[in-house]
Structure 1
Amino acid sequence: MQASIFRSHGLAAQIAVAFLIVYAPHLHAAVIRPSLQESQASIVAASERDFDRLDNEAGLRSGGAFPFDYQHLVFFDLDEQGEPIAGADLWTAASVQAGRLRGVYEGGWNYSLNMTVTLYAADSVVARSETRNDYILGSRLDPNEPDGFPIQAMLRVPAGEYDYEIQIRDNNWEDNRSVNQIRGRVVIPESIITQPFISSVAIAADSAGTWNPSADLELQLNAARIIQKDARPYVYFEAYGLTPGSTYRGEVRLVSRWVSRGQGEEFRGTYQPFQMQYRGNVPADPSEPVRKLLRLDLSDTDPGHYEVQIRVRDLETGLVSEVRSARLKVRGADSVRRLVPVVDVTVDEP
């Protein structure tokens, strides 16, 4: 029976509906189950939406006594069969405005930060991570110094949506006199097993830093994603679901996000100032993802908003990943927030 038939008979229809409910409990509405292919496509679409949401929220900036830019990045681990292990590595990266921090002279100017990241679900703590960085500089920073100190923490958590709290403390003040914190919501995407897929895309200012996405790699994450025009920033990502021991093709593009406001503006730059294709090898060990580090050439860019777009193709199966994006802003040399050139850094991650 269809609802439109019942609606056409008024009270009789109501009696008929009541009769079916009371005296025919064994009758159930037909359940249309999605096919396996449709279900997998739905998982892929949901994961891509979650990654887009992460990217849209990157480069957020806190207020407070010493402002900091921050972002969240998600990476996955693989098992011996190359399948993603349940859960994900959530990295929270921050860049703290250095001129607002207190320096103490101890043979060099010492600046010390502590960052605690806490995730909550239904007001209960799901995970917490704490990191301490001590930065040793050759000279004292000017109080108006806009550049930032990088610091990050990692949490291993299941996919899902959480409330988060980021708390950063200037350790050179006693009794928590200088603490800044911010709260929000973060989503951890599901991993994908039906096709190749890509992790978050990290933008780094330098190849020497405190972020270690793998054992042999150290980077200075740029949480603000604000890049100087004459810089050559690093881009790091991981690719999963490729055939072990085979080859793949990577495609990288830098695309302008310039949009006309309908006020007679004219874009004089290049819409796609950087693009490259390369052929790479997939590790023979199924538990090892492809880890790729490359550099962007920004020489043909005008100041403005851009998007790094990355896609990989498995040359064994022909399967292609969705495009993973990372937004960034290119500025002139006189207006960009950089990372402080650090002489020495000690890191303590309990």
Structure 2
Amino acid sequence: GDANRAEAALARAEGRIPDALFLIDQARIAFLEHDVSGTEDYWAACRIADEVGSTEIWLDIEVLATPEEHDTWDRLRTLPAADRDACAFFRRFWNRRAAAAGMGVDDRIVAHYQRTRFALDHYRRRGRVRPRFAARLGRPTNSVYDDRGLLYVRMGDPDEVAIHGGSDCIEPNISWAYDRPGGYRIYHLSPLAGVDDWYLQENLAIVYRCGSWDRNPMVAISPLLLDVPGQPFHDLYLSRMGLDPRYARIANHALSLIGDAFAGSRLAEELTVEREWTWQDGEYAISTVPERPAVDLSVDFALEWLQFRAPRPGLTRVWLNGLAEASALQPVEKEGQDVYRVQIVWTLLDETGLFYRFIPSSFDAAVDGPLDDEAGLSLRKSADLPPGTYRWMLAISDANSTADGQGKKVRGGYAGGDVVVRDLGTDLPVLSDVAVSADSVGAWSPTAGISLNPTPARLTGDDGVAFIYYEVYNLTPGGMYETRVVLQPEDGGPSFDLSYPGTAQRSASIVTRGHLRIDLSASSPGRYEMSVTVRDLTSGHVTLPVRTDILVTRD
């Protein structure tokens, strides 16, 4: 753990160990000092490493690997040297985690080494008892940490902690909870009969040690020694009520159990279900990449993707068009105005796992007085990408908020999923996505002379009028075309058509842009599916339809 001593020892070893191992150790020393430049040595070692060097890199990250990645690594090692690209494996490995965490790759590597140093100092395995539950989930068998260290290295500090100090009937225990969309992921840990090492338990009831084996109907569920649970069992489960109200329900069922009628009781059913939660959460921690950005989940936002042909051939310009909930953000006063400040991190990872984009940005909005509860702040950012499927993650944070205390997160929110980037470089006429704006003016200017304010809500104005923008490629130069807009009410009523004639640009290399005013003031309020196509009246070719929805509003 002493960087100066390690550096001195490495200097003495220079020239006496392989270059790859020297560079790996040099990188480790830099990481001890929070020096991100150590990743230059890390990747240099990766490029020149032989089997010994690659194994050294693997051993540092094995604790992070999923069972699937363990299998992939084992297969990789059996390949002939000429077919073995360990460095590509490590690139994919780190890209995947950086993308999920909303970090640059180099920063994610440094964070890993910082966490492992902390885990070695605080959660090193000391006893001979080996993990059971986590091992069945795929835990690395040779990890030098107990399961607290495993969780910390993979997921960081818990968001909440609940502790029960133990009693005559209850082993010492602690629960770590990690806030994720859908609720907490909860992990129960106890040394049970041990002293130093804390391991994951398959349900909380396993730490209850009163009763007798021959009268225990829970043996099929866990090694719970239970006759008739009473107040200690109730208190144990009630101590987790703040993590999930279902634990309070189990606690109450424990007090209502009469005699020895455990089998078939509501308590038995609830404990069986609880074990299923614990298994699911355990699999999440060990069998997936459980990374997440360092933001809480207090800010809601909506987003859509708008895709157009990029200026550079072979690429598609993808706009992230978002709207953040203003009421969840805290403005600061500056020169008589309220200033909202939002930071975003947008990550994109392609199907190969080797193409990774980390796109940070920030947005400031100065307004006269706080925004109302229904207002939103526009978030827009673009990236030019090759066609294909990408795993995306977007994290937004309130730049005016700070994280208070270890493990706490700044005010914000995040979401992720897959986006298919279209190939708009075909020879036939093809239509871009369609942007919908309630206003004819705004901050988004896709081309000179057009300024709109499209939002993911796709609302008309209060007068029932919307403005749409789209681009068409490969129309006959100088020829006539027709844009057809078909609107289908969500409630299944009759659809109606709108047609708009136009003339394509005379140069085939110039994009034909459409900017239309759609008057739906005579239509009933509500949501409509809008389908847009463009027909080249010279060639007769019709684009494939692009569908989006539009919400007709009234003042």
TM-score for the superposition, normalised by structure 2 = 0.43
Kindly provide the amino acid, as one letter, of the partner of residue 305 in structure 2: H
The structure 2 residue matched to 1:137, chosen from 363, 367, 389, is 367
Shift of 1:224: 1.9
The structure 2 residue matched to 1:271, chosen from 495, 498, 510, is 495
Is 1:286 the counterpart of 2:514? The answer is: no
Alignment of 1:234-245 (within 5 A): 234-245=467-478
Is 1:188 the counterpart of 2:410? The answer is: no
The structure 2 residue matched to 1:222, chosen from 455, 462, 467, is 455
Contact 2:314 2:425 in 1 (8 A): no
Shift of 1:194: 4.3
> 1:109 aligns to what?
338
Shift of 1:250: 1.8
Go from structure 1 to structure 2 and tell me whether the alpha carbon gap of 1:205 and 1:229 turns closer, same or farther (over 3 Å shift).
closer
Kindly provide the amino acid, as one letter, of the partner of residue 495 in structure 2: Y
> 1:128 aligns to what?
358
The structure 2 residue matched to 1:319, chosen from 536, 541, 544, is 541
Q: Hey, which of these two has a bigger chunk of helix by percent?
A: 2
> 1:165 aligns to what?
393
Aligned partner of residue 221 in structure 1, secondary structure: coil
Shift of 1:73: 1.2
Shift of 1:226: 4.0
Contact 1:164 1:184 in 2 (8 A): yes
Aligned partner of residue 394 in structure 2, secondary structure: strand
Q: Which has the larger radius of gyration?
A: 2
Aligned partner of residue 99 in structure 1, secondary structure: helix
Contact 1:116 1:131 in 2 (8 A): yes
> 2:518 aligns to what?
296
Kindly provide the amino acid, as one letter, of the partner of residue 363 in structure 2: N
The unaligned stretches of length 5 or more in structure 1 are: 1-62, 80-84, 260-266, 334-350
What CA deviation, in whole Å up to 9, does each residue of 1:138-176 have, x standing for no partner? 11234xx12211111101111111100111121112357
Q: C-alpha separation between the residues in 1 aligned to 2:551 and 2:326? A: 21
Go from structure 1 to structure 2 and tell me whether the alpha carbon gap of 1:298 and 1:278 turns closer, same or farther (over 3 Å shift).
closer
What CA deviation, in whole Å up to 9, does each residue of 1:47-103 have, x standing for no partner? xxxxxxxxxxxxxxxx93110111111111467xxxxx2121111110111111111
Q: C-alpha separation between the residues in 2 aligned to 1:218 and 1:99? A: 26
What CA deviation, in whole Å up to 9, does each residue of 1:274-322 have, x standing for no partner? x432321211232221111112212122233212222212222222222
Q: Hey, which of these two has a bigger chunk of strand by percent?
A: 1
Contact 2:474 2:508 in 1 (8 A): no
Alignment of 1:68-79 (within 5 A): 68-77=301-310
Go from structure 1 to structure 2 and tell me whether the alpha carbon gap of 1:286 and 1:182 turns closer, same or farther (over 3 Å shift).
same
> 2:121 aligns to what?
none
Q: C-alpha separation between the residues in 1 aligned to 2:353 and 2:412? A: 22
Shift of 1:228: 5.4
Contact 1:115 1:153 in 2 (8 A): no
Aligned partner of residue 453 in structure 2, secondary structure: strand
Contact 1:133 1:151 in 2 (8 A): yes
Contact 2:525 2:552 in 1 (8 A): yes
Is 1:66 the counterpart of 2:299? The answer is: yes
Q: C-alpha separation between the residues in 2 aligned to 1:217 and 1:179? A: 32
> 1:330 aligns to what?
552
Q: C-alpha separation between the residues in 1 aligned to 2:448 and 2:460? A: 26
Q: C-alpha separation between the residues in 1 aligned to 2:450 and 2:360? A: 21
Report how many residues are paired.
253
Kindly provide the amino acid, as one letter, of the partner of residue 320 in structure 1: V
Go from structure 1 to structure 2 and tell me whether the alpha carbon gap of 1:203 and 1:139 turns closer, same or farther (over 3 Å shift).
same
Q: Which has the higher contact order (CA 8 A, sep 6+)?
A: 1
Shift of 1:236: 0.7
> 2:284 aligns to what?
none
Kindly provide the amino acid, as one letter, of the partner of residue 271 in structure 1: S
Q: C-alpha separation between the residues in 2 aligned to 1:228 and 1:173? A: 33
Is 1:205 the counterpart of 2:438? The answer is: yes
Q: C-alpha separation between the residues in 2 aligned to 1:305 and 1:283? A: 34
> 1:91 aligns to what?
319
Is 1:251 the counterpart of 2:487? The answer is: no
Aligned partner of residue 304 in structure 2, secondary structure: strand
Aligned residues: CA RMSD: 2.3
Kindly provide the amino acid, as one letter, of the partner of residue 394 in structure 2: I
Contact 1:202 1:236 in 2 (8 A): yes
Q: C-alpha separation between the residues in 1 aligned to 2:450 and 2:521? A: 26
Kindly provide the amino acid, as one letter, of the partner of residue 290 in structure 1: T
Aligned partner of residue 190 in structure 1, secondary structure: coil
